[in-house]
């Protein structure tokens, strides 16, 4: 017997979105492929994604929906495998889907439809999947790379790291891929939680506890980036799509500016009500623009109360400013425990944007979330997983 029990053309560590897509493409090319997955079954994150319905892509996908130290890196892979390519696979499997909002495509029934499709495609492509297995002791070998799983020593010509990022550790997510990258001397862009609720100091939480559950459509801005989506007050701070989106751009110490009524010039509207209905209380007038609980809170917080006729323009302006340009300083995020993705990861300067192969370690590939490419909320992260998996699958 040789030093190794089994040889494959391609070994993929991680049976998530990116790893399975890569396996399918490599298998279709006639390569012998094994997927090593540490979980009991593959694709745990697909199963829980999109509230159980998997927002599997976004029809408006553009390179500007992704951030990275090198914003050009994602272009090549996305150009060769865009949303339409994945939609074609979904339709070939007769999976019912719908557009929810802003180009976001979800399964009608269940995220399991996507997993079943990927596993079936792997099967058709002759891919071997080994679950409940951790790859250990990864090293270079004569033909490429070698590693151990529980009772097997595996050698492969191409090794693909598709182990995701450390977000949601209770699902078994770890920084494994970064450790492999470091072992092979690749640079890592500091991984931090992204698409994550923002947290605030004790005073804020105390103040805003009564607003928990209130949702409002806002424009939230951090430095030069802005998003128009819903904001949700929670017991811990702020969440909802607008906050998750901006969290990926927020850095410690920065302020965010929230416009709670982006389609209203609140000062002008309150002035108009003052003229037409001078006896109307300011919080009542504001309740026509904002949820009532929030309107009352803002008036109390600004210490501006009573009939509009009794209020100076300066006082009305101070309330309007709270609505149209509310400035807040988060003290942190909820961290990897609830982050949907990880910003940062294996530096794109280390990889070929065409193949995802390490520039200094031929035969070693990194795909999906482990790479320093992070998508906006709305199906973009899966699209990156499909596109980067597909790109590597053509070359492994």
Ligand X SMILES: Cc1cc2nc3c(=O)[nH]c(=O)nc-3n(C[C@H](O)[C@H](O)[C@H](O)COP(=O)(O)OP(=O)(O)OC[C@H]3O[C@@H](n4cnc5c(N)ncnc54)[C@H](O)[C@@H]3O)c2cc1C
Site residues (vs ligand X, CB under 6 A)? 13-19, 36-39, 44-45, 48-50, 54-55, 134-135, 162-164, 167-168, 172, 174, 176, 340-341, 368-369, 379-382, 385
Which one, 299 or 356, has the nearer CB to ligand X? 356
Query: Which H or E run includes 58?
Result: strand 55-58
Residue 51: exposure state from Cβ atoms within 10 A (0-12, 13-18, ≥19): exposed
Q: How many CB atoms lie within 10 A of CB 303?
A: 9
Angle made by CA atoms 88, 89, 94, in degrees to the nearest 5: 95
Rounded to the nearest whole angstrom, what is the least distance from the CB of residue 27 to ligand X in the complex? 17
Which one, 172 or 332, has the nearer CB to ligand X? 172
Rounded to the nearest whole angstrom, what is the least distance from the CB of residue 214 to ligand X in the complex? 23
The 8-class DSSP code of residue 281 comes to B
Q: What sign does the CA torsion over 332, 336, 340, 343 have?
A: positive
Distance, in Å, from the CA atom of 214 to the CA atom of 235, rounded to the nearest integer, reads 11
Which one, 193 or 237, has the nearer CB to ligand X? 193
Rounded to the nearest whole angstrom, what is the least distance from the CB of residue 69 to ligand X in the complex? 18
Rounded to the nearest whole angstrom, what is the least distance from the CB of residue 121 to ligand X in the complex? 15
Residue nearest to ligand X (CB): 16
Q: How many CB atoms lie within 10 A of CB 341?
A: 25
Which one, 175 or 320, has the nearer CB to ligand X? 175
Which one, 8 or 297, has the nearer CB to ligand X? 8
Which one, 164 or 344, has the nearer CB to ligand X? 164
Distance, in Å, from the CA atom of 228 to the CA atom of 343, rounded to the nearest integer, reads 21
Rounded to the nearest whole angstrom, what is the least distance from the CB of residue 14 to ligand X in the complex? 3
Is the distance from CB of 55 to CB of 378 less than 8 angstroms? yes
Torsion region of 356: left, alpha or beta (phi above 0 gives left; psi -120 to 50 gives alpha): left
Rounded to the nearest whole angstrom, what is the least distance from the CB of residue 235 to ligand X in the complex? 19
């Amino acid at each position: 017997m040789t030093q190794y029990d089994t040889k494959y053309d391609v070994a993929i560590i991680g049976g998530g979105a990116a790893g399975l897509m890569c396996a399918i493409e490599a298998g279709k090319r006639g390569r012998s492929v094994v997927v090593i997955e540490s979980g009991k079954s593959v694709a745990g994150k697909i199963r829980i994604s999109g509230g159980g319905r998997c927002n599997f892509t976004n029809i408006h996908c553009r390179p500007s929906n992704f951030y990275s130290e090198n914003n050009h890196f994602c272009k090549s892979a996305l150009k060769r495998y865009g949303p339409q390519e994945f939609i074609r696979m979904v339709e070939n499997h007769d999976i019912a889907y719908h557009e929810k909002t802003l180009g976001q495509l979800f399964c009608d029934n269940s995220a399991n439809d996507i997993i079943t499709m990927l596993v079936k495609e792997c099967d058709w492509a002759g891919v071997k999947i080994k679950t409940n297995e951790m790859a250990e002791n990864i090293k270079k070998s004569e033909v490429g790379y070698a590693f151990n799983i529980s009772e097997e020593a595996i050698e492969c010509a191409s090794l693909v790291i598709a182990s995701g990022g450390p977000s949601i550790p209770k699902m078994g997510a770890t920084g494994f891929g970064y450790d492999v990258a470091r072992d092979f001397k690749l640079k890592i862009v500091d991984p931090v939680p992204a698409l994550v609720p923002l947290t605030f100091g004790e005073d804020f939480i105390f103040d805003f506890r009564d607003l928990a559950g209130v949702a409002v459509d806002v424009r939230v801005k951090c430095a030069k980036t802005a998003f128009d989506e819903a904001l949700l007050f929670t017991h811990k701070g702020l969440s909802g799509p607008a906050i998750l989106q901006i969290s990926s751009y927020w850095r410690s110490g920065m302020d965010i500016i929230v416009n709670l009524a982006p389609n209203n010039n609140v000062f002008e509207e309150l002035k108009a009500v003052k003229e037409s209905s001078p006896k109307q209380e300011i919080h009542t007038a504001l309740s026509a623009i904002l949820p009532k609980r929030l309107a009352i809170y803002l008036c109390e917080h600004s210490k501006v109360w009573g009939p509009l006729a009794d209020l100076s323009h300066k006082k009305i302006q101070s309330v309007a400013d709270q609505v149209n340009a509310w400035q807040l300083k988060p003290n942190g995020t909820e961290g990897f425990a609830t982050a949907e993705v990880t910003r940062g990861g294996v530096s794109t300067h280390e990889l070929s944007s065409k193949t995802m192969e390490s520039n200094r370690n031929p035969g070693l590939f990194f795909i999906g979330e482990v790479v320093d490419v992070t998508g906006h909320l709305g199906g973009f992260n899966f699209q990156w997983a499909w596109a980067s998996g597909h790109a590597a699958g053509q070359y492994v």
